[in-house]
Structure 1
Amino acid sequence: MVTHKIKILPEYFKAVAEGRKTFEIRNNDRNYREGDTVVLQEWDGQYTGFQITKQIGFVTDFEQKPGYVVFGLV
């Protein structure tokens, strides 16, 4: 299992924090896998200091642009 630290814009960070956003669509440049951990770090042009840690529960590239994946956050 791998831990990925990734930037997330404030509006999406808030939605994840409130439990309304349970997925991410990302370029799969990090080879995201089920069971990996993602540390979502709020970014508004610089890091705000807020972060949320989630686990990847499911990954798919169905209907995505080439090289992109959707993964579920649990």
Structure 2
Amino acid sequence: MVHDLKIQPEFFESVSLGIKTFEIRKLDRKYGFGDLLILHEWDGDYTGRYVEVRIVYMTTYKQQADYIVLGIEKVKKRGA
């Protein structure tokens, strides 16, 4: 499954550099192991840059209700 999501510029950079290897997200959709996240950089509007990551780990341990930690692995980066 593919999920298109917004991501703020400071987090986008860390993910695109491979430094940030997780996402904490509201559990408002059916995430699954191996799913693809297309993280579109958003600074109030789309910048045109995005990074594709794959979910390699998931846990709700010690999270607020309805939130999940997604371990991610970069697939590729695109855009300006």
TM-score (normalizing by structure 1): 0.96
Once the two structures are superposed, residues 42-71 of structure 1 have per-residue CA deviations (whole angstroms, 9 ceiling, x without a partner) of 000000000001100011000000010000
Moved over 6 A (4+): none
Report the counterpart of residue 44 of structure 2 in structure 1: 45
Once the two structures are superposed, residues 24-45 of structure 1 have per-residue CA deviations (whole angstroms, 9 ceiling, x without a partner) of 0000101211111000000000
2:22 counterpart letter in structure 1:
F
1:72 counterpart letter in structure 2:
G
Give the unaligned 5+ runs of structure 1: none
Report the counterpart of residue 78 of structure 2 in structure 1: none
Once residues 41 and 21 of structure 1 are traced to their aligned partners in structure 2, the CA distance between those partners, rounded to angstroms, is 15
Calculate percent identity across the aligned residue pairs.
45
Report the counterpart of residue 63 of structure 2 in structure 1: 64
Count of residue correspondences? 73
Report the counterpart of residue 31 of structure 1 in structure 2: 30
2:14 counterpart letter in structure 1:
A
